[in-house]
Structure 1
Amino acid sequence: MSISITMIIFSVLFLVFIIRLIKTATFTLEYSLMWLAIGTIMLVFSIFPQIPEYFANLFGFETMSNFLLVMAVLFSLLQLIIFTKYTTKQTDDIKSLIQEVSILKEKVKKEE
């Protein structure tokens, strides 16, 4: 079996997996759209390998695999930044909620 067919099958299976996760409400809408876009890009690149080849040549990469690896690393770094941002916001929200609950508990104790 050729590598293109293997990649097409893998991309379709990836999309099916993401769609199943969406149906079971495992992902929020914003994350599911991102993963659907990634799966679609994988499928398009599998069907038309000329596209990543063109970009690899455009940006001066010697091989398409080097280009795809760099893109994967950059995407992973972007994901880390986004998740760090959400984690920081959630940590701040949790801290604020704990403070509010503590204040409310203290008020309830004083009223009793």
Structure 2
Amino acid sequence: MQLSIVFLITSFFTFIFIILKIRKNGLNIDDSIIWIIWGILLLILSLFPQIPTYISDILGFMSTSNFIFSIFIFFLYILLFVQSIQISKLKEKQKELIQKLSLKEKNERDSKK
């Protein structure tokens, strides 16, 4: 019971923190969708602790805590994958910008001659 209360309070504060960061423009809207869904999921799991217990029994986990840890790890892998995609896109844009800048500088040097 005490763990459920701690989990509920923690998930509530996490959700509030996410909302405050979105309002202050500290978090991109695209990225915030994932965090809002995560915050809602945490609130649901903390309000109804029988849900993860039921799902962990169906999936064959030894304990509910193992199932919760697996969910957290899966969520982190999703975030890592999304951020890897974003980094790849940014690297490609950076490469294009460097090439355009180099061509522009070369054209300016050629026009001065």
TM-score by structure 1 length?
Answer: 0.94
Deviation at 1:107, TM superposition (A): 0.7
Structure 2 stretches of 5 or more lacking a match?
none
Give 2:35's aligned amino acid.
W
Give 2:22's aligned amino acid.
I
- Secondary structure of 2:105's counterpart equals helix
Give 1:29's aligned amino acid.
I
User: What corresponds to 1:22 in structure 2?
Assistant: 22
Deviation at 1:26, TM superposition (A): 1.0
User: What corresponds to 2:81 in structure 1?
Assistant: 81
Structure 1 stretches of 5 or more lacking a match?
none
Report matched runs for 1:59-98 at 5 Å. Answer: 59-98=59-98
- Secondary structure of 1:61's counterpart equals coil
User: What corresponds to 2:105 in structure 1?
Assistant: 105
Q: In structure 1, what is the Cα distance between the partners aligned to 2:89 and 2:6?
A: 40
Q: In structure 2, what is the Cα distance between the partners aligned to 1:30 and 1:71?
A: 21
- Secondary structure of 1:26's counterpart equals coil
CA displacement, residues 36-89 of structure 1 (integer Å, 9 cap, x when unaligned):
110110011000011111110111001110011111112212221111111111
Aligned length: 112
Q: Does 2:13 correspond to 1:3? A: no
> What percent identity do the matched residue pairs reach?
29
Q: In structure 1, what is the Cα distance between the partners aligned to 2:5 and 2:109?
A: 68
TM-score by structure 2 length?
Answer: 0.93
Divergent runs of 4+, >3 A = none
